[in-house]
Amino acid sequence: METTYLLRRKHKIYTLAILGLTLAVAALAFVCVLVGSSDMTFAQSLAALGKTGSAAQIRIIWNIRVPRVLAAVIAGAGLGVSGLIMQTTLNNPMASPSTLGVSNAAVFGANLSIIAFAGGFLSTGNNLNNYTVGANPYATSVMAFLFAGASILMILGLCTLRAFSPNVVVLAGMALSSVWTAATTILQYYATDVGLSAAVVWSFGDLGRATYRTDAIMAAVVLAGFAYFMVMSWQYNVLLTGEATARTMGVRVDLLRFTSMLLASLITAVCVSFLGVIGFVGIICPHVTKKLLGQDHWITIPVSALTGMLLLLLADTLSRSLGGGSALPVGAITSLLGAPFFLTVIFSGKENRRC
């Protein structure tokens, strides 16, 4: 069988890239679990991971660090892959998981919940105990998700009325984003200072809000999206040849666009609703992947997921070590960390992209 596909045999670099990244993610995740702001030693952490040691230590590892690391892995994968799919389906390198205004809508929903209804009950998430007693910790996430979902449906609805032109989608997304931002600004103008600070802090992405339950919900959505994207990988490849040509090759372009954008936006909506805004992962990871490995979606989808995980894990580790006890917003770190690397790759004069 090997000889028959001689003309197709792929560079070993794909296997190496996927293997290497998987190992890196696993290693980094392991380190993340063992390192944190509590004064546990490495050995104590390791012991607690094996469920031996003091109850407090086991609690720190299993109730705080593990769900947090899982969140980084799940959201990183989700945001990386959604970005890639958005860029392909909209034929726009600037498209990101937030293109349809999802993040801004989620921020508005959360602000509404915090400022108008709960009066700033939300903590930054590092301390699991200071939600106001009786307030539902999910209320803000649910509200954020409802608005994000509404935003997605609004744009996709508008776009099905008219032909699904990618540029129209991007522009409509921008317009709607600015509406949500404006509404958020007005809301914040009338907020109490406690409410305002809680609302602003919410919008900083923070993996510390994750619990096993939120991780499970995110994982379900991300896995469903990932599976769909992988199954459709050849259809995305054909889409790279342009909308008209793809149609003549038998691809149902409008349907593919609709389902892909819906899933990619849903992934983003769920992640943002639980964790706050984590920007730039969806832009950096797919672009670096494409630049280095070409555009075959069978490869770029898993690699974008892996690089997303890696970036978020790295950012989280840094945010926890730089914050001196309380973690810095991970969303800021992803951009700080990713942007220089991104620029290096974009401006590097490597002409012959592998593929």
* CA distances for 152 relative to 96, 149, 157, 206, 270, angstroms: 14, 5, 8, 23, 12
**Position among 296, 318, 336, 345 found at the interface with other proteins (CB under 8 A):** 296
Taking CB under 8 A as the criterion, which residues in 249-288 touch other proteins?
Answer: 249-252
Binding flag, residue 133, other proteins (CB under 8 A): no
**Position among 235, 268, 307, 335 found at the interface with other proteins (CB under 8 A):** 235
**For other proteins, the closer CB: 185 or 245:** 245
Binding flag, residue 238, other proteins (CB under 8 A): yes
| DSSP class of 204 | B
**Position among 68, 209, 257, 290 found at the interface with other proteins (CB under 8 A):** 290
| Contact window for other proteins (CB under 8 A) among 66-74, 179-187, 208-216, 239-247 | 239-247
How far apart CA 308 and CA 331 sit, in angstroms, is: 13
**Position among 119, 137, 294, 323 found at the interface with other proteins (CB under 8 A):** 294
* Contact of 210 with 124, CB cutoff 8 Å: no
Determine the 3-state secondary structure of 277 from DSSP. Answer: strand
Q: What is the dihedral of CA 128, 198, 70, 98, to 10 degrees?
A: 160
Size of the site for other proteins (CB under 8 A): 35
CB of 305 to other proteins, least distance (A): 19
How far apart CA 292 and CA 96 sit, in angstroms, is: 19
CB of 307 to other proteins, least distance (A): 17
Binding flag, residue 234, other proteins (CB under 8 A): yes
| Contact window for other proteins (CB under 8 A) among 79-87, 167-175, 207-215, 231-239 | 231-239
| Contact window for other proteins (CB under 8 A) among 1-9, 44-52, 120-128, 258-266 | 1-9
3-state secondary structure 208-258: HHCCHHHHHHHHHHHHHHHHHHHHCHHHHHHHCCCHHHHHHCCCCHHHHHH
**For other proteins, the closer CB: 37 or 92:** 92
Q: What is the dihedral of CA 274, 278, 281, 284, to 10 degrees?
A: 160
Q: For residue 211, give both structure tokens.
A: 């619990």
Give me the amino acid identity at 265: S
Q: What is the binding site for other proteins (CB under 8 A)?
A: 1, 4-11, 231-232, 234-235, 237-238, 240-242, 244-245, 247-252, 290, 294-296, 351-355
